[in-house]
């Protein structure tokens, strides 16, 4: 059974990694948790389920828009998307705590628009906050699903960065 879960996760992860041409890197950080560290419960389903503060740096001058994706590759069903926003201004350098950035929001795997915080059914899960600099704005309507966003971004990513945080629920 674990092989079935791992294979789709790796395929999606490899597809995302291959988006950026030339390996250009951006930075995405949070003042609420360190990369690889634990995400405070206030940003999860056990707390206020609000967005953590995020800082974005090293956006290339060629960027015409930004896209933000938050996902959990450790979900039992495979990759689980918690948040998607695209057509954000390339001048965006921060997203304040408990705020919603300007842009178009997709439908997450909770079936809702906007942020759905970490909420693992068991164990510790990894949550990736990924930022993409795109060479154009995307012609996608609000409510778009992850597979459509990935397809629209393919070939248009000029740089990317990621921040990984961990969370496990208290029993």
* pLDDT tens for each residue of 11-32: 343 344 444 445 689 999 999 9
- DSSP line for 32-58: SS-TTSBPPGGGSTTTT--PPPEEEE-
Half-sphere CA count of 40, side-chain side, radius 13 A: 13
Q: What angle do CA 27, 105, 166 make, to 5 degrees?
A: 45
pLDDT per residue over 49-106, tens digit each?
999 999 999 999 999 999 999 999 999 989 999 999 999 999 999 999 999 999 999 9
- As given in the structure block, the two tokens for residue 43 are 């940003």
The span from the CA of 34 to the CA of 150, in Å, is: 27
């Amino acid at each position: 059974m674990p092989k079935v879960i791992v294979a789709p996760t790796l395929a999606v992860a490899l597809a995302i990694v291959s988006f950026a041409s030339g390996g250009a890197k951006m930075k995405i950080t949070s003042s609420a948790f360190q990369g690889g560290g634990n995400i405070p419960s206030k940003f999860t389903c056990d707390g206020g389920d609000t967005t953590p503060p995020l800082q974005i740096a090293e956006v290339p001058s060629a960027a015409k828009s930004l896209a933000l994706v938050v996902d959990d590759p450790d979900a039992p069903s495979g990759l689980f998307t918690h948040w998607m926003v695209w057509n954000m201004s390339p001048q965006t350098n921060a997203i304040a705590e408990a705020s919603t950035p300007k842009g178009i929001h997709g439908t997450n795997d909770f079936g809702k628009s906007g942020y759905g915080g970490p909420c693992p059914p068991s164990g510790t899960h990894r949550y990736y906050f990924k930022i993409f600099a795109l060479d154009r704005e995307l012609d996608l309507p609000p409510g778009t699903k992850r597979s459509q966003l990935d397809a629209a971004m393919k070939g248009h990513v000029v740089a990317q960065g990621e921040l990984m945080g961990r969370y496990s629920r208290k029993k």
